[in-house]
Amino acid sequence: MNQISRLPPPVPPARARRRAARQGSFGVLDIGTTKTVCLIARIEGAEAEPRVLGFGWQRSRGVKAGSIIDLAEAEQAIRAAVGQAEEMADLQLSSCIVNLSCGQPESRQQHIQWPIGGRAVTEADLRAILHEGRRRSAEDGRETVHAFPLGFTMDATPGADDPRGMICETLTARLHLVDAAQASLRSLGACLARCDLEVEEVVSAPFAAGLATLVEDEKQLGVTVIDMGGGTTSLAVFHDGHLLHTAQIPVGGWNVTNDLARGLSTPIAHAERLKTLHGGALSAPDDDKEWLAVPMVGEEEDHIARIPRAMVINIIRPRLEETFELVRDRLEAAGLGGETGRRVVLTGGASQLVGARELAARVLERQVRLGRPHPVRGLPETASGPGFAAPIGLLAWAAGEGRPLLDLLPGRDRAPGLFRRLVNWLRDRV
- The average pLDDT across 317-343 equals 90
Query: What are the extents of the domains in the chain?
Result: 106-179
pLDDT in tens, 157-176: 888 888 999 999 999 999 99
Cβ partners under 8 Å of residue 377, min gap 6: 44, 49, 50, 51, 52
The topology (CATH level 3) of 106-179 is Dna Ligase; domain 1 (3.30.1490)
CA pair distance 92, 98, nearest whole angstrom: 16
Task: Count other C-beta atoms under 10 Å from residue 68's C-beta.
Answer: 22
217 pLDDT more than 70? yes
What is the pLDDT, as a whole number, of residue 405?
A: 67
What is the pLDDT, as a whole number, of residue 5?
A: 39
133 pLDDT more than 50? yes
Contact 133, 165 (CB under 8 A): no
Of the CA atoms within 13 Å of residue 430, those in its CB half-sphere come to: 20
What is the pLDDT, as a whole number, of residue 395?
A: 95
pLDDT in tens, 69-95: 999 999 999 999 999 999 999 999 999
Q: Nearest to residue 358, comparing CAs of 372, 344, 348?
A: 344
Q: Nearest to residue 348, comparing CAs of 249, 244, 216?
A: 249
Q: Nearest to residue 100, comparing CAs of 254, 255, 247?
A: 247
CA pair distance 368, 23, nearest whole angstrom: 36
> pTM (2 decimals)?
0.86
Cβ partners under 8 Å of residue 237, min gap 6: 222, 223, 224, 225, 243, 244, 245, 246, 331, 334, 336, 339, 340, 341
Q: Nearest to residue 201, comparing CAs of 217, 210, 213, 189?
A: 189
What is the pLDDT, as a whole number, of residue 415?
A: 40
What is the pLDDT, as a whole number, of residue 427?
A: 47
For the chain, the average pLDDT equals 86
DSSP label at residue 93: -
11 pLDDT more than 50? no
pLDDT in tens, 99-111: 998 888 989 888 9
